[in-house]
Amino acid sequence: MTKAALLIDFGSTYTKLRAIDLGARRVLGSGQGPSTVTSDINIGMRAAMDDLERHLGGLPRFRYRFASSSAAGGLRMVTVGLVRELTAEAARRAALGAGAKLVGTFSYRLTQKDINKINELKPDIVLLAGGTDGGNSAVVLANAGLLAASALACPVVYAGNRAAADDVSTLLAGCTLIVTENVMPEFNTLNIEPARAVIRQVFIDRIVHAKGIDRARADFDAVLMPTPAAVMEGARLLADGVAGHDGLGTVMVVDPGGATTDVHSVADGRPASGQVVAVGLPEPRIKRTVEGDLGMRHNAATIAEVAGIEALAADAGIDPMRARALLAQLATDVGQLPQSADDIALDQALVRAAVFQAVARHCGTLETVYTAHGPVTVQHGKDLSELDAVIGTGGAIVSSPDPGAVLGKALADNTLPLSLRPRAPSLWLDRGYLLYACGLLAAAEPEAALELALGHLQRLDHQPRSMETGNARIRCA
Amino acid sequence: MPAADTRPHLPQHQKTLVTGVIGSDTHIVGNRILSMALEQAGYKVATLGALTPAADFIKAAVETAADAIMVSSLYGQGELDCRGFRELCIEAGLDDILLYVGGNLVVGKHPWPEIEKIFLDMGFDRAAAPGTRVETVLDWLARDFAAREQGLRRAAG
């Protein structure tokens, strides 16, 4: 009998299913239904199961039925830290790494206005950090006190100064509080894994129920994580491989969505040259960035703003006036699929611009600092110039007539010579939208998940760029 | 409300120091030796290393609730880099933090008392001349922290 697994994604628009043959490491079939979490999640789930059954001609017995969810607004999180570039940034990275949708980030002492804002944001979890262990506790205690006195009902994860944990627990005694390790126990030491794990656990234990996702419990064994975290797990699996089976090496996943563009990288990103000095907060090896102003539908206007409407129109090969008109249409109907040749051309220009910007922001940069002893090269962020593989996922890339050209925008070029973007990675397409499924499956069957992922990625051709341009030349200077 | 912020003033509290080389200065070796010696002497040290902007010293001190900031400058631009340092601290709520500076602080040969005065006038509590021994710095720290317990700005001498 076929050993099968069912992987479910409760998305914001669709409920998506992938049925996997674990023995043959292949996709048995897919199913899709609407997302109905706001009314009754079972309606969409049933429709998706019926769709899958139609494709398969009957449903196998599933050994595993794992789900991820970004439904009902995703995992909405607010982070609070002390110094913006230090514990507040560490908290932000922990939340993003847990697959959250970051709706607000705060630093220093909260004001009553901040508290009102946090309440308006209706977060699912607040991550409270601040102070290194034994460091500043006055601010985090003041912030805990303000949160305690507020109308906030969601769980609070405390990942701040360990020395203040007892007092924070006392202050927040009336709330659901989970205390974990400090996101920055020592100055400039990043420790986001424990907070990330706790956030995921709170998501499983509470948020899944609070959002009504567990009403479809009869159809799954567990909701393991938010969908962005599942994609990240898929990226990690593809990069690192499993014992006895190599992965792709260092990997980046680019996911331009309707509202945001996500970029994940699995690579340490340290300076490639001993001559370069890395500055700033240490970078997590597995890093996720979310660009809230780069979305193919909800934020198409801001993509145009960032790229410049003239440049966008030129890339699309259409008149700027026409591009403006089409963008205005998109703003009124975000569900619109491209129909005319101009629509398609504009969509392609939008996704290329989104990928270009999002990857440029995700990757680090070089800066030359002039000292009394000559110029010194300083690196901010991750050096991904030697990256092995870039993977594109999501509808905007998969449905593109030229996905290679879209992913090509992730590569180093001479427009941003100081940007540490990948120079010559292999390019891959997640055509079957399997990354999330493999990320989920990795929890139980890592080897099958890896083989499935590697077997279904489609290699894309691209024109390698000349090494005369881009960061190669700077490195040698 | 629990008075957790009184803890740094307990006598047995381990003092936290921030060290680094200010400005566009890459001379890290002396600063690293100093940081190691301070750690060995029982201090908790947040080391920022070379090429550190003044603002980063302050950010680190806020986050770690540091008791002192020790600024190194070896390339002769110390006077420029350190201007307004005390004001930055005050702006960040670190009004009373102990500030030391040391190294080759200015270009050219000037009598040390003149150089020292420039930095003390800037709001530094101590300025260390080139060749100052680590032991001297440890002695200053011990005495200055003791003086702070008694409400004094710094110890005499």
3-state secondary structure A158-212: ECCCHHHHHHHHHHCCCCCEEECCCCCCCCCCCCCHHHHHHHHHHHHHHHHHHCC
pLDDT at A186 over 70: yes
| Residue A196, token pair as written in the block | 């990330």
Q: Which of B5, B9, B27, B139 is catalytic?
A: B27
Residue A15, SS3?
strand
Residues of chain A within CATH 3.40.50.2300 domain(s) are: 74-205
Q: At CA A237, angle to CA A431 and CA A220, rounded to 5? A: 75
How far does A137 lie from chain B, in Å, by closest CA?
6
pLDDT at B58 over 50: yes
Among A132, A166, A170, beta carbon nearest to B63: A132
State the CATH class of domain A1-72: alpha beta
Per residue in A228-255, pLDDT tens?
999 999 999 999 999 999 999 999 999 9
Residues of chain A within CATH 3.30.420.40 domain(s) are: 1-72
B4 and A141: CB-CB below 8 Å? yes
Mutate to test the interface with A, among B64, B67, B80, B94 (most CBs of A within 10 A): B64
A82 and B16: CB-CB below 8 Å? no
Please give the CATH topology (third level) of the domain spanning A74-205.
Rossmann fold (3.40.50)
Q: Which residues of B touch A276 (CB under 8 A)?
A: none
One-letter amino acid for residue A67 of the chain: A
ipTM: 0.75
Q: Which residue of B has its CA nearest to A378?
A: B51
Nearest to B76, CA basis, from B115, B106, B116 = B106
pLDDT at B5 over 70: no
What is the spatial distance between Cα B101 and Cα B115, in angstroms, rounded to a whole number?
11
**Type and span of the H or E element at A210:** helix A208-210
Name every residue whose Cβ is closer than 8 Å to that of residue A51 and which is 6 or more positions away in sequence. A17, A31, A32, A33
The pLDDT score that the predictor gives to residue A204 is 92
Nearest to A391, CA basis, from A368, A416, A425, A342 = A425
The predicted model gives B83-91 an average pLDDT of: 90
What is the spatial distance between Cα B72 and Cα A226, in angstroms, rounded to a whole number?
47
| Residue A97, token pair as written in the block | 């790494």
Residue A273, SS3?
coil
When pLDDT is cut at 50, 70 and 90, the band that residue A20 belongs to is: very high
In B58-97, the residues whose Cβ lies within 8 Å of chain A are 59-60, 62-66, 75-77
Q: Which residue of A has its CA nearest to B45?
A: A187
A135 and B65: CB-CB below 8 Å? yes
The pLDDT score that the predictor gives to residue B106 is 84
The predicted model gives A296-320 an average pLDDT of: 94
B44 close contact with A: CB closer than 8 A:
yes
Name every residue whose Cβ is closer than 8 Å to that of residue A330 and which is 6 or more positions away in sequence. A297, A300, A301, A336
Per residue in A117-148, pLDDT tens?
999 999 999 999 999 998 999 999 999 999 99
Q: Which residues of B touch A130 (CB under 8 A)?
A: 63
Q: Which residues of A touch B73 (CB under 8 A)?
A: none
pLDDT at A308 over 90: yes
What is the spatial distance between Cα A270 and Cα B91, in angstroms, rounded to a whole number?
34
Q: Which residues of A touch B62 (CB under 8 A)?
A: 82-83, 136
When pLDDT is cut at 50, 70 and 90, the band that residue B59 belongs to is: very high
Q: Which of B25, B67, B81, B144 is catalytic?
A: B25
pLDDT at A464 over 50: no
B51 close contact with A: CB closer than 8 A:
yes
CA atoms within 13 A on the CB side of A244: 4
pTM: 0.87
Nearest to A368, CA basis, from A284, A281, A282, A279 = A279
The pLDDT score that the predictor gives to residue A396 is 92
Given a contact cutoff of 8 angstroms between Cβ atoms, the answer to whether A15 and A227 are in contact is: no
What is the spatial distance between Cα A355 and Cα A394, in angstroms, rounded to a whole number?
12
The predicted model gives A180-208 an average pLDDT of: 94
How far does A433 lie from chain B, in Å, by closest CA?
42
B63 and A87: CB-CB below 8 Å? yes
Among A82, A279, A371, beta carbon nearest to B25: A371
B46 and A132: CB-CB below 8 Å? yes
What is the spatial distance between Cα A255 and Cα A397, in angstroms, rounded to a whole number?
8
The pLDDT score that the predictor gives to residue B75 is 87
Per residue in A405-431, pLDDT tens?
999 999 999 999 999 999 999 999 999
A167 and B75: CB-CB below 8 Å? no
Most confident residue range from A235-239, A473-477, B21-25, B86-90: A235-239
In B94-123, the residues whose Cβ lies within 8 Å of chain A are none
The pLDDT score that the predictor gives to residue A195 is 98
What is the spatial distance between Cα B52 and Cα B74, in angstroms, rounded to a whole number?
13
The pLDDT score that the predictor gives to residue B12 is 53
Residues of A in CB contact (< 8 Å) with B are: 82-83, 85-87, 130-132, 134-138, 141, 145, 163-164, 166-167, 170-171, 184, 186-188, 277, 279, 369-373, 376, 378
Q: Which residues of A touch B1 (CB under 8 A)?
A: 141, 145, 171
Among B18, B48, B62, beta carbon nearest to A82: B62
When pLDDT is cut at 50, 70 and 90, the band that residue A463 belongs to is: low
How far does A274 lie from chain B, in Å, by closest CA?
14
Q: How far is CA A143 from the centre of its chain?
A: 28
In the numeric block, the tokens 């996101």 are attached to A183
The pLDDT score that the predictor gives to residue A1 is 61
Is B27 tagged catalytic?
yes
Number of Cβ atoms within 10 Å of the Cβ of A257: 24
Per residue in A58-106, pLDDT tens?
999 999 999 999 988 889 999 999 999 999 999 999 999 999 999 999 9
pLDDT at A167 over 50: yes
The predicted model gives A360-367 an average pLDDT of: 97
Given a contact cutoff of 8 angstroms between Cβ atoms, the answer to whether A176 and A128 are in contact is: no
Is B25 tagged catalytic?
yes
How far does A206 lie from chain B, in Å, by closest CA?
30
Rounded mean pLDDT of chain A?
92
Q: Which residues of A touch B4 (CB under 8 A)?
A: 137-138, 141, 163-164, 167
How far does A184 lie from chain B, in Å, by closest CA?
10
